[in-house]
């Protein structure tokens, strides 16, 4: 019987680039005309068509010597589905080798900055020792922030204890910063980010003592898989998605999933300035008794004061100060000046993994 020796062909490829010869990596095959993109019926690299020749495959599903250095890929069982519904790896491929996501939705929008509503504030009334509101303050009526102008009892100053009464200017309040709905985050999970799909890749356990397959890990073949999983080629870590534009015929479906997320989104800090364009005018009255009565006669009635415009009244005779009241003639506090809240940065998926999968067959009902 005639026998043929086992033939190895050493191919050394070179390219001429700008007049310089550049040597590429040597590739070893066990056949004269290797078919680089050929896979066997189980989806394993078979550039020498060993399956068609009836030759037994090695533990690496195609023979280590038949695998080009280009085929640094792993056969995995890949599940694709909704985020948070990832199943456990099947018994045929119990080792989880990748968890990732695709279809990122990460809006880069900030909620509008919010300030508390502005308001007009009624003034205080004080009695001074000298004329024209000069000298020391001998007594005052300081209304609470919630005062709406009703009769407010004063310090009960006796006649002769003061010579003039000063009405302070009307003020404004509000325009305080309401806590940002979306504070500047320090971690990615402080922002909304949603993935359309999740993926889990599972592999068979490595064979102990298995020969090296041109730098790729040698794993048992993955054949029958439970529903929801499909056989796929996983390209090595570090492979960029643009490096794999097309998949081999036996694994035509291309998928890219990401294991990480780089999130630099943030919102500029919010701030609120005091209200502007307001009109606040109050009519203030001061009385000698404690109940804002007409007797004895009032010190003054309906004295008008506005924003940044206090008033002073000299007493022509010794009078007492017992109470005050006020009413609004104009109560339009204006509007707050809001700044900040601009969005910047972006969320970008990182650490891609490229898969080429067998076509998914949906059973007929």
Q: Are 127 and 161 in contact (CB under 8 A)?
A: yes
Is residue 260 in some structural domain? no
Write down the pLDDT at residue 26.
32
N-term to C-term CA, the chain:
55
Distance of CA 34 to the CA centre of its chain: 50
153 and 21 inside one domain: no
Question: Token pair of 240, please?
Answer: 């960029």
163 and 288 inside one domain: yes
Is residue 153 in some structural domain? yes
Q: Are 242 and 354 in contact (CB under 8 A)?
A: no
- Kind and range of the H or E run holding 132: none
CB neighbour burial string for 21-41, b if at least 16 within 10 angstroms, e if fewer? eeeeeebbbbbeebeeebbbe
The Cα diameter of the chain in Å comes to 143
pLDDT single digits (tens) 254-272: 999 999 999 898 888 899 9
Q: Is 66 helix (H, G, I), strand (E, B) or coil?
A: helix
- Distance between CA 51 and CA 311 in Å, rounded? 105
Is residue 229 in some structural domain? no
- Distance between CA 230 and CA 240 in Å, rounded? 22
CB neighbour burial string for 311-332, b if at least 16 within 10 angstroms, e if fewer? bebebeeebbbbbbbbeeeeee
Q: Is 64 helix (H, G, I), strand (E, B) or coil?
A: helix
CB contact set of 39 (below 8 Å; sequence gap of 6+)? 45, 46, 248, 249, 250, 251
173 and 285 inside one domain: yes
4 and 147 inside one domain: no
The residue to which tokens 């492979």 are assigned? 239
**pLDDT (tens place) for every residue of the chain, 365 residues total:** 333 332 323 222 222 222 222 333 333 345 656 676 677 777 777 777 777 777 654 434 333 333 333 445 678 999 999 988 999 999 888 999 999 999 999 888 888 888 999 999 999 999 999 999 999 999 999 999 889 999 999 888 889 899 999 999 999 999 999 875 544 443 334 467 789 999 999 998 765 444 444 333 333 456 678 888 999 999 988 888 888 888 888 889 999 999 999 989 888 889 999 999 999 999 999 999 999 988 889 999 999 999 999 999 998 889 999 999 999 999 999 999 999 989 999 999 999 999 999 887 655 55
5 and 148 inside one domain: no
Half-sphere exposure of 59 (CA within 13 A, CB side): 15
26 and 172 inside one domain: no
Write down the pLDDT at residue 245.
83
Write down the pLDDT at residue 325.
96
Backbone angles phi, psi at 361, to 5 degrees: -100, 120
Is residue 353 in some structural domain? no
Is residue 354 in some structural domain? no
- Distance between CA 140 and CA 221 in Å, rounded? 93
* Count of CB atoms situated within 10 Å of the CB of 88: 10
Write down the pLDDT at residue 115.
92
- Distance between CA 77 and CA 226 in Å, rounded? 10
Write down the pLDDT at residue 351.
93
Q: How many structural domains compose the chain? A: 2
Is residue 314 in some structural domain? yes
Q: Are 222 and 232 in contact (CB under 8 A)?
A: no
Q: Is 189 helix (H, G, I), strand (E, B) or coil?
A: helix
Show the beta-strand stretches assigned E in 264-342.
266-267, 271-276, 279-287, 300-306, 311-314, 321-332, 335-339
Is residue 96 in some structural domain? no
Write down the pLDDT at residue 33.
65
Backbone CA torsion sign across 286, 288, 289, 295: negative
Helix (H), strand (E), coil (C) string for 226-273: CCCEEEEEECCCCCCHHHCCCCCCCCCEEEEEEEEEEECCEECCCEEE
Question: Token pair of 224, please?
Answer: 């029958």
Question: Token pair of 141, please?
Answer: 């009526």
Alpha carbon separation from 261 to 38, 244, 321, 350 (Å, rounded)? 36, 21, 70, 5
Backbone Cα Rg of the chain? 42
**pTM confidence score:** 0.53
Is residue 217 in some structural domain? no
CB contact set of 287 (below 8 Å; sequence gap of 6+)? 293, 298, 299, 322, 323, 324, 325
Q: Which domain holds residue 133?
A: 119-177+271-339
């Amino acid at each position: 019987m005639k026998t043929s020796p086992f033939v190895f062909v050493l191919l050394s490829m070179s390219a001429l680039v700008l007049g310089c010869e550049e040597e590429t990596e040597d590739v070893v095959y066990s056949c004269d005309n290797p078919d680089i993109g050929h896979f066997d019926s189980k989806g394993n690299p078979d550039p020498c068509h060993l399956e068609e020749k009836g030759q037994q495959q090695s533990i690496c599903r195609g023979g280590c010597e038949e695998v080009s250095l280009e085929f640094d890929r792993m056969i995995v069982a890949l599940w694709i589905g909704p985020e948070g519904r990832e199943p456990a790896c099947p018994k045929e491929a119990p080792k989880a080798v990748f968890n990732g996501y695709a279809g990122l939705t990460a809006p880069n929008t900030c909620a509008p900055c919010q300030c508390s509503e502005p308001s007009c504030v009624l003034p205080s009334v004080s009695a001074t020792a000298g004329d024209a509101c000069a000298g020391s303050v001998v007594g005052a009526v300081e209304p609470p922030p919630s005062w709406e102008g009703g009769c407010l009892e004063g310090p009960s100053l006796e006649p002769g204890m003061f010579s003039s009464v000063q009405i302070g200017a009307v003020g404004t309040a509000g325009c305080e910063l309401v806590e940002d709905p979306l504070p500047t985050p320090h971690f990615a999970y402080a922002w909304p980010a949603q993935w359309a799909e999740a993926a889990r890749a599972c592999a068979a356990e490595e064979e102990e003592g298995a020969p090296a397959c041109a730098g790729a890990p040698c794993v048992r073949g993955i054949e029958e898989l439970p529903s929801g999983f499909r056989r796929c080629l996983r390209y090595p870590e570090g492979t960029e998605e643009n490096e794999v534009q097309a998949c081999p015929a036996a694994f035509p479906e291309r998928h890219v999933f990401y294991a990480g997320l780089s999130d630099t989104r943030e919102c500029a800090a919010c701030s609120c300035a005091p209200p502007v364009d307001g009109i606040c005018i109050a009519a203030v009255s001061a009385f000698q008794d404690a109940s804002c009565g007409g007797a004895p006669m009032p010190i003054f009635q309906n004295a008008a004061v506005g924003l940044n415009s206090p008033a002073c009244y000299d007493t022509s005779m010794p009078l007492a100060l017992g109470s005050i009241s006020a009413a609004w003639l104009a109560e339009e506090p204006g509007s707050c000046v809001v700044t900040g809240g601009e969005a910047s940065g972006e969320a970008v998926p990182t650490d891609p993994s490229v898969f080429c999968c067998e076509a998914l067959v949906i059973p007929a009902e």
